[in-house]
Structure 1
Amino acid sequence: MGDFIEKNGIKITYTFAFILALLWIIPLIWVLLVSFKASGSLLSVINWLKPPFSIENYVHVFSNAPVLLWLWNSFLISTITTVFVLILSGLAAFPFSLNRFPGSRILFWIILAGLMVPGEAILVPLYILFRDMNLLDTYSSLILPVIAVPFGMIFLKQFFDGLPKELYEAAKIDGCGMYRMLYLITLPLSRSAIAALGIFTFLSTWKEFLWPFISITSADKMTIPVGIPFFNSGFVVDYTIPMAANVIVSIPVLIVFLIFQKQIIKGISFTGIK
């Protein structure tokens, strides 16, 4: 009886997972098919699979806007932001995990409380700050506000807490300092968590829209999410060209996820953060 329940439970689980995967992939298929339809086509469900299909939307996107420049801006900003987030998060998380200095618990809870503050709540003071520093409409305005994030520090601290403390005690006996312990012990053992945080940071920076939309006004400094709305017409509802732009935006993200999906899953399972 127990084996019967277990086998049927596994089947039900796989069936439920398949249904969820199907619900997730149907919108992606719709976006891809619509992006190849002729501009102005009727986009009812019946017409999804009907020819004709054309690449004219992609030609229009690349010929009427500096899409390659926007892609490069997004890649450059996402990469630089990811590097800074990993460095600062690692340096901040290590003392909280290894040493219980006076006031560390209170300071940790203050940083944790930062997760409850939505980004929209600080847009006005952030804009005023960067305006007074003459940094609006620059790459710095896109990088600096997101390099010190509470999530990165908490994410790595959760992982560092699970590392054997005996390794640090042995290193201290051998005369190893804090930075050497971080470089020789903590970082090599935390590759999966660091990779997961790096991928999360890259993807979240890549798709960021609101702050870049507010802080950037020059077309040559725009990121690709900010550039996509320019393909929307204010008078005619036409989904084909914007969907082609969305496909172009999604390709780099999908490639990054497919390459590093094992690191993402391993990092989440090790840290215990869902």
Structure 2
Amino acid sequence: MKNRKKRSRILVYIVAYGLVAFMLIPIIWMFWVSFKPINSVVTVVSELLTPPYGVESYIRVQESSMIWRWTINSVFVAIIQTAGTLLFSSLAAFAISRIPFKGKTFVFLLILAGLMVPVEATVVPLFEMIVNLGWVNSYPALILPGIALPLGVLILKQFYDGIPNELMEAAKIDGANMFRIWWSIFLPLSRTSMAALAIFVFVQSWNNFLWPLLVANDQSMMTLPVAIPTFQSSFTTDLTVPMAANVLASIPALIFFLIFQKQIIKGVAMTGIK
């Protein structure tokens, strides 16, 4: 019986490591290609694996583009959008979960209805609003529309519903108001759920393409998903420069994962968000 379990566990590890290796192949290929000389043949394995190697592509990316400006834009937009989504989603979820008011069920159903509306259906009215406000090519245009996230309210509301009422009653006896209860009790207890939601929002904001493409037509305001494809149009016969740009663009996301690795694993394990 023990040998059987041991063989099953070994088989699971083999399959898991095999899947990891399979998913790492494109990333390894991207790094490898980025260090080949410009205009090298990278579609033939024998040519790809033979020297020379260098950093010419990275130099070209920095000299011919605003790669660091685009990176700063992406990082800033993703961080502010994540923080704003956590704040407003948490406040809305707390109000719906714990504060009695008329029409609470209707408000919650209205928020849930937002999950059924495709993003593409809201692009035109949102863009008209941004134009009327004069926010085209600005950070508010990139950040504010993404802060209202119905999924965030749903996730945190379900978590807040499970917190015992006795904690609120004890806090009220001690003289705490509703804001104090939210700040001192509900926020600390929902740390794992907030981390999972933060991961989801950060990745969604980092990879967002359609909305930044519409509201940021100035190069200085572009984010990485919008700016990176410009390399492929400028260097149509070469893959080394676009791959170098992709490597530089992936560094902030990699740093984010390394810093918050434990929170990411806990959040994914608890909520099932991928």
TM-score by length of 1: 0.91
Q: Provide the C-alpha distance between the structure 1 equivalents of 2:268 and 2:158, rounded to a whole number of angstroms.
A: 10
2: CA distance, partners of 1:101 / 1:17: 50
Residue 9 of structure 1 corresponds to which residue in structure 2? 8
RMSD: 2.0
8 Å contact from structure 1 (residues 193, 263) kept in 2: no
Gaps of 5+ in 2: none
Identical columns (%):
48
* CA–CA distance in structure 1, aligned partners of residues 16 and 182 of structure 2: 40
* Distance verdict in 2 for CA 1:123–1:270, change over 3 Å: same
Which residue is equivalent to 1:84? 84
Distance 1:250 1:220, change over 3 A: same
Q: Partners of 2:35 and 2:235 in 1: how far apart?
A: 22
Asked whether the 8 Å contact 2:196–2:271 carries over to 1, the reply is no
Q: Where does 1:216-227 land on structure 2 (aligned, <5 Å)?
A: 216-227=216-227
Q: Residues 189-224 of structure 1: CA distance to partner in whole angstroms, max 9, x if unpaired?
A: 222222332233223212211111111111111112
DSSP 3-state at the match of 1:54: coil
Instruction: Give the direction of change, closer, same or farther, for the CA distance of 1:98–1:12 in structure 2 (3 Å limit).
Output: farther
Residues 1:48 and 1:67: Cα distance change in structure 2 (over 3 Å): same
Q: Are the counterparts in 1 of residues 142 and 212 from structure 2 also a CA contact under 8 Å?
A: yes
Q: How does 1:1-274 map to 2 (within 5 A)?
A: 1=1, 3-43=2-42, 44-99=44-99, 101-233=101-233, 236-271=236-271, 273=273
Following superposition, the deviation at residue 29 of structure 1 comes to 0.2
Asked whether the equivalents of residues 200 and 273 of structure 2 are also in contact (C-alpha less than 8 Å), the reply is no
User: For residues 66 and 234 of structure 2, what CA distance do their matches in structure 1 show?
Assistant: 20
1:114 Cα deviation from its structure 2 partner: 1.9
Q: Which of 228-237 and 80-89 deviates more? A: 228-237
Q: Tell me the amino acid that sits aligned with residue 146 of structure 2.
A: V
Secondary structure of the residue aligned to 1:53 is: coil
Cα distance in 2, alignment partners of residues 77 and 97 from structure 1: 29
In structure 1, how many angstroms separate the alpha carbons of the residues matched to 2:74 and 2:193?
A: 24
The answer (yes or no) to whether the contact 1:155–1:273 under 8 Å persists in 2 is no
Q: Is the 8 A contact 1:40 1:240 kept in 2?
A: yes
Gap runs ≥5 in structure 1: none
C-alpha distance in 1 between matches for 2:97 and 2:109: 14
Letter in 1 for 2:23: W
Output the CA distance in 1 between the equivalents of 2:175 and 2:270.
Answer: 29
AA of the residue aligned to 2:48 = W
Instruction: Tell me which amino acid in the other structure corresponds to 1:171.
Output: A
How far is the alpha carbon of 1:56 from its aligned partner? Answer: 0.5
Q: 8 Å contact 2:85–2:149 — kept in the other structure?
A: yes
Q: Which amino acid aligns with 1:19?
A: G
Contact 1:86 1:152 in 2 (8 A): yes
Q: Cα deviations across residues 215-255 of structure 1 (Å, max 9, x unaligned)?
A: 11111111122211221136833211111100000010011
- Does the 8 A contact of 2:75 with 2:206 survive in 1? yes
Task: Answer yes or no: is the 8 Å Cα contact 1:159–1:270 preserved in 2.
Answer: no
Stretch moving more, 62-71 or 150-159: 150-159
Of residues 41-50 and 53-62 in structure 1, the stretch that sits farther from structure 2 once superposed is 41-50
CA distance in 2, matches of 1:5, 1:160: 43
TM-score (normalizing by structure 2) = 0.91
Letter in 2 for 1:175: G
CA distance in 1, matches of 2:166, 2:148: 30
SS of the equivalent of 1:48 reads helix
Aligned counterparts of 2:272 and 2:226: Cα–Cα separation in 1: 34
What amino acid maps onto 1:185 in structure 2?
Answer: I
